[in-house]
């Protein structure tokens, strides 16, 4: 039997140590524990170093968000070779919405390691989802892209996400767009027709205040309009609760 260096390191590490808990969670023994400590430090308990730089997890959250998007784009592109850009974008959005990321953090036990001032912040908000993204950023910096990709696919997607169920979960972006337009007194309509570029598909434009936005396609008129609505919502930053 061949044992990895990480296995030997873990063997000699105290079972209750932070190093070992990261190893248990990832299967990877941390090379630079500082990345993980920072990833799990909320700004409510952060301190500044001698240069005035905070040790909170917001920069790692930014990095982890980009890394996670890249991994999911590659995974979904290969998983669904016949689906269009609108479908892939919606699927990725379903995975990385704030509620889903917070649940993933709970699933892997990340919430037990997050350092946060619970008296000042609601632990049921986006704190754990943000920490999850920062954690992905920490793994990337510590282990490289190949290992963080393997971790996300093997330990997160395959163990904690039902991609087929997510695919069948309908998010009514058209309804959300309509509600926003009614609230803000914007006129809204859809220009939807057969797609001349591909048989048995439709394309749709959102017409907002007489201006066309976002061409999107779908296998049905309803799907095309949902995809177009999603793009417009993203364009105007109206999916902040999801992302």
Strand 188-194 relative to strand 202-208: parallel, antiparallel, unpaired?
A: antiparallel
Closest CA to 87 of 216, 183, 241, 200: 216
Q: Answer positive or negative: Cα dihedral of 165, 108, 100, 217.
A: negative
133 is catalytic: yes
Q: How far is CA 66 from CA 37, 42, 69, 115, in A?
A: 20, 19, 5, 23
Active-site entry in 61, 133, 142, 223:
133
Q: Cα(103)–Cα(34) distance, rounded to whole angstroms? A: 25
16 is catalytic: no
> Please, are residues 41 and 27 in contact by the beta-carbon 8 Å criterion?
no
Active-site entry in 56, 65, 142, 225:
65
Write out the catalytic residue numbers: 65, 133
């Amino acid at each position: 039997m061949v044992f990895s260096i990480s296995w030997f390191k873990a063997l000699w590490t105290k079972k209750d140590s932070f190093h070992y808990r990261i190893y248990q969670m990832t299967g990877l023994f941390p090379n630079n524990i500082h990345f993980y400590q920072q990833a799990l430090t909320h700004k409510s308990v952060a301190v500044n170093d001698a240069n005035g730089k905070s040790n909170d997890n917001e920069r790692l959250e930014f990095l982890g968000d980009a890394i996670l998007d890249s991994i999911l784009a590659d995974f979904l592109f290969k998983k669904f070779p016949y689906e269009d850009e609108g479908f892939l974008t919606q699927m990725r959005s379903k995975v990385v919405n704030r509620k889903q990321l917070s649940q993933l953090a709970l699933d892997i036990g990340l919430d037990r390691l997050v350092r946060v001032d619970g008296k000042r912040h609601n632990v049921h908000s986006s704190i754990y989802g943000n920490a999850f993204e920062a954690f992905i950023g920490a793994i990337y910096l510590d282990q490289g892209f190949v290992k963080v990709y393997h971790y996300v696919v093997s330990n997160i997607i395959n163990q904690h996400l039902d991609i087929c169920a997510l695919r069948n979960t309908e998010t009514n972006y058209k309804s959300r767009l309509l509600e926003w337009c009614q609230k803000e007194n914007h006129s809204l309509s859809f220009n939807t027709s057969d797609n001349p570029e591909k048989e048995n598909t439709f394309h749709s434009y959102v017409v907002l205040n007489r201006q066309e936005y976002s061409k999107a396609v779908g296998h049905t008129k309803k799907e095309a309009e949902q995809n177009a609505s999603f793009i417009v919502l993203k364009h105007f930053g109206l999916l902040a609760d999801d992302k």
